[in-house]
Structure 1
Amino acid sequence: LEYPMPGDLIEIDRPHYQHWALYVGDGYVIHVTPIGKAAGSMTLLFKKAKVEKDLLDKAAGKDNWRVNNKYDNVLIPFPVEEIIWRAECQVGRIVPYFLLYKNCEHFVTKLRYGEAVSEQVEWHRVSPGCLPEQLLAAALSERFSHLFLYFIQPSYI
């Protein structure tokens, strides 16, 4: 298990999807979490999330996690101090998110690189023969019912 460094992206293996967080040091990560009654199930397209700072062990629970800065080969990360500042400024915010276009991976990549990207969403957008109706059905299916998604106003980051 690779020990994370401040500014690293953390990929957490959840059943049926990957949850993403940003390591900020001293055992803590910043990530988006669902709020409200549907916190355990995200079957609707629009939800709200809260940006939280949690211990990595709490955020991951019993799930495996790893450092995954996979976009470093195509995107230039901000300096570590700026990544941490950008993340800390978000803690406590309630943010809307949209299932088909933004997710927790978008959130952390926006903090690290200034650009929101997510392979787990892009893969479904470009899959051969994937019609919009099929994408919507997939998004509403149990496979994606726990994705933590969001939308951030550009002026905040």
Structure 2
Amino acid sequence: MAALESFSATYHRDPRPGDLIEIFRPAYQHWALYLGDGYIINVTPVDEGSPASSSAKSVLSRKARVRMQLLKDAVGNDTYCINNKYDNTYNPLPVKEIIRRARHLIDQEVPYDLLGNNCEHFVTWLRYGEAVSGQSKTAICAIGLVTLAAGAFSLLGLLHSRSRKREY
């Protein structure tokens, strides 16, 4: 764990191989999986830029590259925590299997979709064998609520304009 010794971030314990790492970016959370010895695996833009733009650039390209990086480099100036939040819902695969699956994908190009195949989907698939993302569920709900509200306001506006026409 020498790579972590000089690195400080917000966490309650040292990450263990197979742990999910949630990185708090200014406008979103980026997800990685801890491999051990200070390294993580995550998806980054095909044309890799700064760590802070990881998921943002992938949204535009719809492709990402699986990379192994030092945790401290992936986090940059942001903070992170260990967040195995689905452990009560899904059984984690054996650590050796998680690491084998992860290492097999390093440097491969993979499809990326913010709502259906994002960085959280990627790491939960590695850990649990199930690709799940609370972020995408939240985004889909928000989009649905906005769409519903827009529809309701349109309907109210239409009804209001029809009632005004009858008065004349």
Q: TM-score, normalised by structure 1?
A: 0.77
Deviation, structure 1 residue 124: 2.0
Match of 2:80 among 65, 68, 73: 65
Higher relative contact order (CA 8 A, sep 6+): 1
User: What percent identity do the matched residue pairs reach?
Assistant: 52
> Does the alignment pair 1:8 with 2:19?
yes
Task: Kindly provide the CA deviation profile for residues 78-118 of structure 1, in whole angstroms up to 9, marking residues without a partner as x.
Answer: 00000000100010101121223211000000000000000
Considering only aligned residues, what root-mean-square deviation do their CA atoms show, in Å? 2.2
Gaps of 5+ in 1: 135-157
Q: What is the match of residue 147 of structure 2?
A: 131
SS at match of 1:116: coil
Match of 1:100 among 115, 139, 151: 115
Distance in 2, matches of 1:43 and 1:24, equals: 22
Equivalent AA in structure 2 for residue 14 of structure 1: R
> Does the alignment pair 1:82 with 2:97?
yes
Q: Residues 99 and 46 of structure 1: is their aligned pair in 2 closer, same or farther, counting only changes over 3 Å?
A: farther
Asked if the contact 1:46–1:96 (Cα under 8 Å) also holds between the matched residues in 2, the reply is: no
SS at match of 1:129: helix
Q: Which has the higher helix share?
A: 2
Q: Which has the larger radius of gyration?
A: 2
Equivalent AA in structure 2 for residue 53 of structure 1: M
SS at match of 2:121: helix
Asked if the contact 1:46–1:99 (Cα under 8 Å) also holds between the matched residues in 2, the reply is: no
Q: Which has the higher strand share?
A: 1
SS at match of 2:139: helix
Q: What is the match of residue 24 of structure 1?
A: 35
Q: TM-score, normalised by structure 2?
A: 0.72
Gaps of 5+ in 2: 1-10, 151-168
Q: How does 1:108-147 map to 2 (within 5 A)?
A: 108-127=123-142, 129-131=145-147
Aligned residues: 133
Which consecutive segments of 4 or more residues in structure 1 shift more than 4 A? 37-41, 43-46
